Copies of this chain bind each other. A is one copy, B any other.
């Protein structure tokens, strides 16, 4: 048991970072650096930014190199973008300074096949610097390790079906449009369905499930289908009502065939929510016996931030390299200060 607090650098100061910083404080982690390039934030005290109730003396800086040079951090919490290529430089900077990395980047949950070049370079760099890099968040427990644990009570598995959703209203108009919100069917089919699309967040999670279960993927494919209601829905982000019959977002369905004969079909829904909608996390596994479970309207943002923070001790103490979440020891709730788990 270590008796000095864990020291963290918060890399990326957005909505998630605010909550993460509060949770870090709750679990006795010291924040020793903060990085963001947003001119509105640079120069601000982290305590003010994250509403910690005090000035911390840690000033948000746009000079990542300087931040890592001026502290001996145990871990960098990197919360900027969703895909590996755009995250590579941030990860590289932290690893090069010998600092472990945990990241909310959705692709980082299992990027071995969707971004193999970046992932392997980072794996090698992490090993050379004796540190660990891991992606985590909502997917770690609720999209990967919890379905795998639930399946451990079955005698035979035929097919794994998972369905999750998020509200595109939470992430601004660009993401809403990228999901086809407010598009009619023709436009959706031309601009969204026909486009070469990025792997959905569930694509990477489903690959992690296969890796953990020992299933060999023989085929994986994704299609984007519009999400349509027979009622009008008002979108605050778009500033207008989406009429019945137009897309309020999309569902990315990823289908996997494995050499073991087990199939996976995972669906990732991003849409404009109505009042009664909430995030979804539903699993149905057919086999012997069938098994169905769901997390009811999960608070995806809070669960992601708490999972990131609770994961820190296992990332610090894990073997060096890019260690994806399905390979980490299963997470447990920290009943005591986080550094006492080291």
Q: Which A residues contact B (CB, under 8 angstroms)?
A: 23, 26-27, 138, 140-142, 145-146, 148-157, 212-215, 260, 288-299, 302-303, 305-307, 309-310, 330-333, 335-336
Contact = CB atoms under 8 A, between A and B. Distances in A.
10 contacts: A26-B156, A27-B155, A140-B153, A141-B152, A142-B153, A145-B149, A153-B331, A154-B303, A260-B335, A291-B295
A142 to B, nearest CB: 7
A93 to B, nearest CB: 28
A27 B154 CA distance: 12
A260 B334 CA distance: 12
* This chain: copies in complex: 2
Given A23-B155, A142-B150, A213-B333, 9 more contacts: A138-B153, A142-B153, A146-B150, A150-B295, A151-B333, A154-B303, A154-B333, A289-B302, A294-B294
A138 B27 CA distance: 33
Nearest to A156: B26
Contacts of A297: 292
A152 B307 contact: yes
A292 B296 CA distance: 5
Nearest to A20: B155
A296 to B, nearest CB: 4
A299 B212 CA distance: 24
A214 B299 contact: no
Contacts of A138: 153
A335 B141 contact: no
Contact of A335 (B142, B150, B213): B213
Contacts of A142: 150, 153
Contacts of A289: 298-299, 302-303, 306
A170 to B, nearest CB: 15
Contacts of A299: 289-291
A330 B146 CA distance: 11
A154 B23 CA distance: 10
A238 to B, nearest CB: 27
